Amino acid sequence: MSHESRTREARRLQSRQLVLVIALSVGTLLIEVAGGLLSGSLALLSDAGHVLTDLLALVLSLMAVRFASLPATPAKSYGYHRLEILTALLNGALLIAMSAGILYKATRRFFEPVPIESRTMMAVALAGLLANVAGVVLLSRAPQNLNLHGARMHVVGDALSSVGVLVAGGIIALTGWARLDAIVGGAIAVVIALGSLGLVREAVDILLEATPAGIDLDLVSRAIATVPGVIEVHDLHIWSITTGLPALSGHVRLDGQEPQTSDEMLNRIKQTVRDRFGIVHTTIQIETRGYQELGEVH
């Protein structure tokens, strides 16, 4: 199966899993709103708002997967792959904002606890937890990229919130200590924020065309230089078109002593970076020993 065929199949699986998770999230949202109103639990209503935010993020992720499947055009020669990264960046920003809101509400709840119906709170939280666990499993089975990672983090955040509400409800039922709800909610907010910062940082690195994590630019340059006939590697750049799709461009100077043609040398270099580093999208300029570079070299 070609790289393009594998990519199309991955998009199809991602789209299908996202639709299923969106359906689960809609059901969870309705249950938690009803449960929050019946029990008088602000924690459940806040968690429902959390689910609503994540539902929006999941819809954005689905849109990104669908748009990324569109073919490239002369105006957009790389296609729409970067929509995934923009969506992941937006998801990460939403998660950070959501975490700040949860932390603010948790602080207020700690100083102003209110009585709630803990049994209803626990039952609804358990239902939400089961739905979120199912969502994480579904998204984990789809081919992974930064966009799916962001979507899964949203669902994991929902699951953590459900666990916090469930545990807090149980202890409140036993002890009457309502402030525990605020403590658990604040801890969840901090965990989600830390994970979101990593997601945002990775998305920004891709947008800035930084060298992908796990690939050493100097190591790639040395590997190309080991190909017989290569005397210099310069103007080498490695970046990600989207997550999981690294690209490389560079200039390679030959000594002219090897009997191979430039096409044969080019294929040997391409095979080296493909086999050792998994980079299949390459643009390499072959130069002779006496070639004089014009313009700025990076």
Domain segments of the chain as ranges: 3-207, 217-287
Q: Which residues are 255's β-sheet partners? A: none
Q: Which residues touch 269 (CB under 8 Å, ≥6 apart)?
A: 224, 227, 230, 252, 282, 284
What CATH number belongs to 217-287?
3.30.70.1350
pLDDT at 276: 94
Burial class (CB in 10 A: 0-12, 13-18, 19+), 51: buried
In which order are the strands placed within the sheet that holds 230-242? 230-242, 245-254, 281-287
Strands (E), the chain: 230-242, 245-254, 281-287
If pLDDT is split at 50, 70 and 90, which confidence band does 213 have? confident
Q: Which residues touch 204 (CB under 8 Å, ≥6 apart)?
A: 89
Question: Is 257 a residue whose pLDDT tops 80?
Answer: no
Domain 3-207 in CATH 1.20.1510.10:
yes
Question: Is 60 a residue whose pLDDT tops 70?
Answer: yes
CA within 13 Å, CB half, 138:
22
Q: How far is CA 64 from CA 97, 135, 240, 281, 296, in A?
A: 21, 18, 17, 22, 36
- Residue-wise pLDDT for 142-191, tens only, equals 776 676 777 888 888 888 888 888 888 888 888 888 888 788 778 877 87
Model pTM score: 0.74
